[in-house]
């Protein structure tokens, strides 16, 4: 922009200088020509008076003997007869007598006219003077015309113009730079008027006002962006703002994390985040002005994408995309369906048995000697139902964190001994040696929940143990942690099933598990009971050699005195 302004000033100065020189030259030549013509006219008047006096004194002899120089002298009577012609040209005296200058001389005493000969580049001045005897003498002087004079000085004039242009270029360049320099040197960030340019004061004041306004707007925009960034970065959900061309305007780290993208950012296409068919269709629907939702699957889980158009009147100005992690939600939904299905099945099986036996008993088709065994089956299936319902209730309370708040000090060693005592008959049926080892540790927690945790771990250790095997509950601690280890010498759990054994109703070997009494909720109760106390539980197992469950409670234990 600066060079364009300087160039315009430079060209303007050169153009004005050139036009001024040309006009000045023409005016000067015109004035010189006019002065020259006036001088000739004056000389002609003087010459005419002298010739007239000479004629009046000496007559024709004066004209014949006088030096006429380059002037032509004609002496003519009023009737048009030419008395004398210095060039001895035969002319029609009547035409001369009717010329303006001669006619005026006869009438007023004198007359003067001029004639231009363009082709000859000459001009003639005619002066006529009436003598005392009534005749008229006309003197004609021929000189260069204005065009001829201009042509004579054209070459020097062109040389002068070239010189003037060169000087103008040099001077204009210096002047234009000098004029523009104060404007170029204005500090746009801190405009201040310097030098003798009061005309720039309004511009400088305006720049200052605009800078202040821009700085305030920029500060407000910066604060808004910081607030937006702070809010969006604190979200677990992802949010993306894109323009109508689907270039990213803003994108929080949650979106990058959920879409598992690292390289995408502002200015890039939204498809650089994720480019599946479902995602593209969802975004295109939003660009078309329709609210759209879809579920996409990434390596780390399921994501729900909600895309909405940002409209103003009837035009879509951009797209707002919200991304949420619905992996756990979907898993919970799957677990809910599986749980409902499993509960229905687990309830249906004993109820069907009870109904069938009861129907047979009521119809009297059971032999009297078999009534006792049928009654035992009803009692066994009823007990199974009660245990299942109790486990479901316990698990439900732990899920909802609504277990009774009974934080009491409990000796974990004695609690483990009590559990093994309750399972003494079950252990004896399989000749299993069960024992408690370790320290007497006092722990503050919910006795009922902790008892269920120990019971289910030990019950599983007996159910899935081999005949003549061993079961050990060991208690130990380190600062701020208590460890409860339940190990058995049973059938073990294959590695691929270890991550799922704490799921509800999950069974490693369904055919074998059906033969073993249980509800399929024991280990789920263990997991949620430990989580209720802020702890963790893990399992290690070797098929054919046994399984070790380790419960870690994050509270410092106290050794009993």
Q: Which of 128-132, 253-257, 347-351, 514-518 holds the top average pLDDT?
A: 128-132
Q: What is the pLDDT of residue 338?
A: 58
First to last CA, the chain: 92
Q: What is the pLDDT of residue 196?
A: 54
499 three-state secondary structure: coil
Residue 511 has pLDDT above 60, yes or no: no
- Both tokens of 17, joined, read 């200088």
- Both tokens of 371, joined, read 């009534």
**Around 475, how many Cα atoms within 13 Å sit in the side-chain half-sphere?**
22
Residue in 391, 474, 463 with CA at minimum distance from that of residue 439: 474
**Around 41, how many Cα atoms within 13 Å sit in the side-chain half-sphere?**
14
Contacting residues for 133 by C-beta, under 8 A, at least 6 apart? 56
Q: Which of 38-52, 159-173, 298-312, 356-370 holds the top average pLDDT?
A: 298-312
| pLDDT category of residue 38 using cuts at 50, 70 and 90 | confident
> How distant, in Å, are the alpha carbons of 20, 176, 177, 237 from that of 7?
20, 8, 9, 58
| pLDDT higher at 396 or 358 | 358
User: Cα separation of 1 and 7, whole Å?
Assistant: 10
User: Cα separation of 478 and 253, whole Å?
Assistant: 39
Beta pairing class for 470-478 and 433-438: parallel
| Mean pLDDT (whole number) for 433-452 | 88
Residue 312 pairs in a beta bridge with 315
| Mean pLDDT (whole number) for 140-162 | 69
| Mean pLDDT (whole number) for 89-93 | 60
User: Cα separation of 88 and 72, whole Å?
Assistant: 10
| Mean pLDDT across the chain | 77
User: Cα separation of 415 and 458, whole Å?
Assistant: 12
**Residue 490 near residue 452, CB atoms below 8 Å:** no
Residue 26 has pLDDT above 70, yes or no: yes
| pLDDT category of residue 558 using cuts at 50, 70 and 90 | very low
Q: Which of 175-189, 207-221, 356-370, 484-498 holds the top average pLDDT?
A: 484-498
Residue 345 has pLDDT above 70, yes or no: no
> Each residue of 286-344: pLDDT tens digit?
888 888 888 888 888 888 889 888 887 778 888 888 888 887 777 666 666 655 655 56
| pLDDT higher at 169 or 416 | 416
Q: Please return the burial class of 235, using the count of CB atoms within 10 Å of its CB with bins 0-12, 13-18 and 19+.
A: middle
Residue 483 has pLDDT above 90, yes or no: yes
* Torsion angles phi and psi, residue 304, rounded to 5: -95, 125
Map tokens 């130990």 to a residue.
Answer: 476
User: Cα separation of 483 and 474, whole Å?
Assistant: 8
Q: What is the pLDDT of residue 340?
A: 60
Q: What is the pLDDT of residue 512?
A: 46
Residue in 396, 416, 383 with CA at minimum distance from that of residue 487: 416
Residue 198 has pLDDT above 70, yes or no: no
**Residue 323 near residue 301, CB atoms below 8 Å:** no
Residue 403 has pLDDT above 80, yes or no: no
| pLDDT category of residue 401 using cuts at 50, 70 and 90 | low
Q: What is the pTM of this model?
A: 0.41
| pLDDT category of residue 362 using cuts at 50, 70 and 90 | confident
| Mean pLDDT (whole number) for 496-512 | 69
A 10 A CB-CB count for 381 gives 19
Residue 557 has pLDDT above 60, yes or no: no
Residue 82 pairs in a beta bridge with 76
Map tokens 């009971």 to a residue.
Answer: 529
Residue 92 has pLDDT above 60, yes or no: no
Residue 449 has pLDDT above 70, yes or no: yes
User: Cα separation of 351 and 156, whole Å?
Assistant: 130
| Mean pLDDT (whole number) for 360-380 | 74
> Each residue of 44-75: pLDDT tens digit?
788 778 888 888 778 787 777 777 667 788 88
Q: What is the pLDDT of residue 275?
A: 80
User: Cα separation of 201 and 213, whole Å?
Assistant: 18
Residue in 386, 390, 381, 392 with CA at minimum distance from that of residue 355: 381
User: Cα separation of 221 and 211, whole Å?
Assistant: 15
Residue 238 has pLDDT above 60, yes or no: yes
**Residue 139 near residue 101, CB atoms below 8 Å:** no
Residue in 82, 87, 75, 70 with CA at minimum distance from that of residue 51: 75
User: Cα separation of 124 and 100, whole Å?
Assistant: 14
Strand runs labelled E in 107-256: 110-117, 122-130, 136-144, 238-242, 248-251
| pLDDT category of residue 451 using cuts at 50, 70 and 90 | confident
User: Cα separation of 136 and 183, whole Å?
Assistant: 74
| pLDDT category of residue 414 using cuts at 50, 70 and 90 | very high
**Residue 463 near residue 423, CB atoms below 8 Å:** no
Cα three-residue angle 108-111-117, rounded to 5 degrees? 160
């Amino acid at each position: 922009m600066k060079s364009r302004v300087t160039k315009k000033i430079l060209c303007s100065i050169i153009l004005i200088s050139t036009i001024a020189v040309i006009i000045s030259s023409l005016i000067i030549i015109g004035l010189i020509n006019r002065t020259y013509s006036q001088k000739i006219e004056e000389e002609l008047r003087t010459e005419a008076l002298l010739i007239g006096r000479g004629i009046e004194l000496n007559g024709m002899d004066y004209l014949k003997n006088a030096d006429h120089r380059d002037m032509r002298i004609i002496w003519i009577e009023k009737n048009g007869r030419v008395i004398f012609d210095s060039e001895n040209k035969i002319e029609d005296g009547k035409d001369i007598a009717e010329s303006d200058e001669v006619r005026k001389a006869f009438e007023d005493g004198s007359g003067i006219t001029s004639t231009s000969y363009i082709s000859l580049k000459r001009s003639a001045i005619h002066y006529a003077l009436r003598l005392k005897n009534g005749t008229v003498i006309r003197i004609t002087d021929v000189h260069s015309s204005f065009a001829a004079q201009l042509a004579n000085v054209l070459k020097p004039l062109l040389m002068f113009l070239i010189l003037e242009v060169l000087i103008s270029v040099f001077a204009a360049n210096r002047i234009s730079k000098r004029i523009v320099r104060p404007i170029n040197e204005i500090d746009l960030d801190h405009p201040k008027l310097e030098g003798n340019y009061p005309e720039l004061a309004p511009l400088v004041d305006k720049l200052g006002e605009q800078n202040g306004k821009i700085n305030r707007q920029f500060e407000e925009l910066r604060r808004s962006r910081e607030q937006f960034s702070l809010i969006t970065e604190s979200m677990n959900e992802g949010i993306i703002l894109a323009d109508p061309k689907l270039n990213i305007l803003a994108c929080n780290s949650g979106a990058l994390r959920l879409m598992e993208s690292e390289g995408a950012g502002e200015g890039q296409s939204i498809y650089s985040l994720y480019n599946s068919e479902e995602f593209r269709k969802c975004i295109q629907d939003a660009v078309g002005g329709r609210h759209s939702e879809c579920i996409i699957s990434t390596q780390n889980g399921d994501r729900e994408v909600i895309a909405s158009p940002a409209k103003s009147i009837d035009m879509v100005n951009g797209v707002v995309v919200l991304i949420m992690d619905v992996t756990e939600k979907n898993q919970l939904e799957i677990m809910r369906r599986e749980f409902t299905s499993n509960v229905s099945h687990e309830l249906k099986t004993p109820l069907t048995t009870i109904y069938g036996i009861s129907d047979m008993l009521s119809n009297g088709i059971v032999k009297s000697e078999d009534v006792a065994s049928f009654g035992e089956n009803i009692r066994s299936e009823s007990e199974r139902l009660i245990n299942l319902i109790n486990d479901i209730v316990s698990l439900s309370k732990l899920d909802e964190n609504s277990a009774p708040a009974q934080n009491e000090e409990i000796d974990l060693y004695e609690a483990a001994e009590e559990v093994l005592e309750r399972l003494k008959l079950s252990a004896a049926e399989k000749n299993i040696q069960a024992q408690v080892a370790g320290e007497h540790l006092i722990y503050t927690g919910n006795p009922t929940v902790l008892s269920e945790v120990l019971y289910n771990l030990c019950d599983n250790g007996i159910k899935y143990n081999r005949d003549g095997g061993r079961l050990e509950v060991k208690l130990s601690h380190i600062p701020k942690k208590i460890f409860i280890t339940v190990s058995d010498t049973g059938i073990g759990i294959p590695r691929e099933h270890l991550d799922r054994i704490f799921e509800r109703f999950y069974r490693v070997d369904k055919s074998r598990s059906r033969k073993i009494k249980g509800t399929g909720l024991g280990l789920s109760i263990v997991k949620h009971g430990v989580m209720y106390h802020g702890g963790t539980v893990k399992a290690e197992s070797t098929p054919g050699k046994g399984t070790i469950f380790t419960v870690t409670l994050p509270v410092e234990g106290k050794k009993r005195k």
